[in-house]
Chains A and B, each alone.
Chain A
């Protein structure tokens, strides 16, 4: 009986943790944490190429949907080391939400002083 209670507790806790994570944290962070370049650094690379919010978001979404060596913002060395990612399995809505969270998290606005 006690074992069942423990198992139930663990399941509930795991579900609670999972449901607390958003689409970005669930789908982006786990893979990127093992890479040599952080998501912050990648964001800056996107900024360097695309500048504005709409441009950056469109660039990221396009790359995630149609990953290609030639349009990657990452360096040649990085691509040679880690390759390019697989096409996203997220729905367009989830992708948009994830990218919005990514933008809000790393955007430069209101951070300079």
Chain B
């Protein structure tokens, strides 16, 4: 839009310049006829003066114009001009607020080769031209903008339609996923594992883990498509409790890799939207589990003003660290996911002005430090 507007302004400016120049040429052309007449009259007077010289020495004057005479060597013979800046090679030109007309004489009366006729410039044409340019420019600008808008709407309509369709589809699908996922998770929790055969217990656990992974993805997707449109519901969050809840939620997943949680937490309260902070903790824990080694450790240290989540996993290349918060950026293709988790984390943290720092060593682990 800005590019189109700039182009329109450029086009209007160019047209205005052309119009102004054409009006100027028109003015000069009108003046030329008038000044030629004056030059003719003055030449006749010079002729008379030449024959009566030196008995008569009064240079002929005319109230309609001023004039000057110069010889073939551009030497001034006599001048009444207000502006002495003369361009001998031009026929008609502007000199300050005056118009000069240069007439070359064939017979050099009193030695005159160049007769210069000077009249004050009539500014009326300029005012009229500026008025026309101003009105024309405004009208042209409006016309171009309306035309541009219509064109843009016409060209963008199919694209907008597909975006709206896709957006609606994602929102509907996300919404529809909620019910079956809740049903699966609730039913797993309700199952009586005591009477279950060991073989089935393992199978149920796997179903539980898979359902929680899908649930995690569902929550990320929900946040991206639906939650953004909702208002912030700030409340007092007791972080220590929330972290414990989320660890418990991920226990089944962590157990598959035989991971061990090291907790060093203090009682910390922050004022934020609970769902958003849960998304942050879930993503940090889920990453620490996903990219950890079998039998590794996840350390969580909570203090007033800071939270540290460390794993003993594969680590990230130092040069890749600045890009880990970009959406769809995944450094380890072996694990599932869309690469949206950390971008959501960054977005939420930025919203609450919480700083995040990443320290990582390949094959040793990663430490995420949040400070506020």
Contact = CB atoms under 8 A, between A and B. Distances in A.
Interface of A: 40, 44, 47-56, 106, 108-109, 111-113
B54 interface: yes
A44 to B, nearest CB: 6
Give the interface SS of chain A, mostly helix, strand, loop or mixed. helix
A52 B54 contact: no
A54 B77 CA distance: 14
Given A44-B53, A108-B53, A50 B108 contact: yes
Contact of A53 (B51, B71, B78, B107): B71
B50 interface: yes
Contacts of B108: 47-51
A52 B58 contact: no
A58 to B, nearest CB: 11
Contacts of B283: none
A52 B59 contact: no
Contacts of A51: 71-73, 108, 111-113
A108 B58 contact: no
Interface in B282-336: none
B234 interface: no
B73 A48 contact: no
Contacts of A47: 50, 108-111
9 contacts: A44-B110, A48-B107, A49-B108, A50-B111, A51-B111, A55-B73, A113-B57, A113-B58, A113-B59
Contacts of B54: 40, 106, 111
A111 B111 CA distance: 13
A47 B111 CA distance: 5
B57 A112 contact: yes
Contacts of B72: 50-52, 55
B75 interface: yes
B86 to A, nearest CB: 16
B87 to A, nearest CB: 19
Interface residues of B, number: 20
A51 B71 CA distance: 6
Contacts of A111: 53-54, 57
Contact of B111 (A40, A56, A113): A56
Contacts of B58: 112-113
A106 B53 CA distance: 10
Nearest to B74: A52
A52 B113 CA distance: 8
A40 B57 CA distance: 14
B75 A53 contact: yes
B313 to A, nearest CB: 99
A51 B54 CA distance: 17
Contacts of A52: 71-73, 75, 111, 113
Contacts of A113: 57-59
A113 B58 CA distance: 5
A44 B73 CA distance: 17
Residue from A49, A109, A112, A113 having most chain B Cβ neighbours under 10 A: A112
Interface string B95-111: 00000000000011111
A106 B111 CA distance: 12
B42 to A, nearest CB: 13
B73 A54 contact: yes
Contacts of B73: 51-55
Contact of A108 (B51, B107, B111, B113): B111
Nearest to A56: B111
Nearest to A46: B111
A47 B47 CA distance: 12
Interface in B106-140: 107-113
